[in-house]
Amino acid sequence: MAAQTQTRFDYDLLKQSFESWDLESLLGLYADDVEQIEMDEATPPAAPRKRTKDDLRQIFENGCKAGVKISVDNPVIGEDRVACTFTCSFDDGRRVVANSILDVRNGQIARQFDVQARDT
């Protein structure tokens, strides 16, 4: 029986793609059937926000057009899971900070679980 090889997730590409808004590379890191789950003050654990890859594409395109700056830091990298912090900075000084757990399958994000806080 041949051993299966797992394609490693490229955290450095994730960081670089967000920080430069390389949308093609960024979207390539997400599986077609990705599910993003987000909790914050408006979407508590009992009713989290759920998004698809198409939803994420629209958010990324809007963020790029709006000039949102994103940094990706604090990585903890495992074979099938990555944790990191996304910090989004807006022109008006507001920030959104999300701590994320990324479940990885075949080198792509299959599920992204975010808990975030934002400036009001």
Instruction: Name the DSSP letter for residue 22.
Output: -
**Is there a domain that residue 4 lies in?**
no
**Is there a domain that residue 40 lies in?**
yes
Assign residue 48 the CATH number of its domain.
3.10.450.50
C-alpha to C-alpha distances, 2 to 8, 9, 61, 79, nearest whole angstrom: 18, 22, 41, 19
**Is there a domain that residue 107 lies in?**
yes
Number of domains the chain is built from: 1
For the segment 30-74, what is each residue's pLDDT rounded down to a tens digit?
999 999 999 999 999 999 999 999 999 999 999 999 999 999 999
* Domain coverage including residue 22: 11-118
- SS3 call for 5: coil
C-alpha to C-alpha distances, 32 to 6, 35, 96, nearest whole angstrom: 18, 9, 25
* pTM across the whole model: 0.91
**Is there a domain that residue 69 lies in?**
yes
83 close to 5: Cβ distance less than 8 angstroms: no
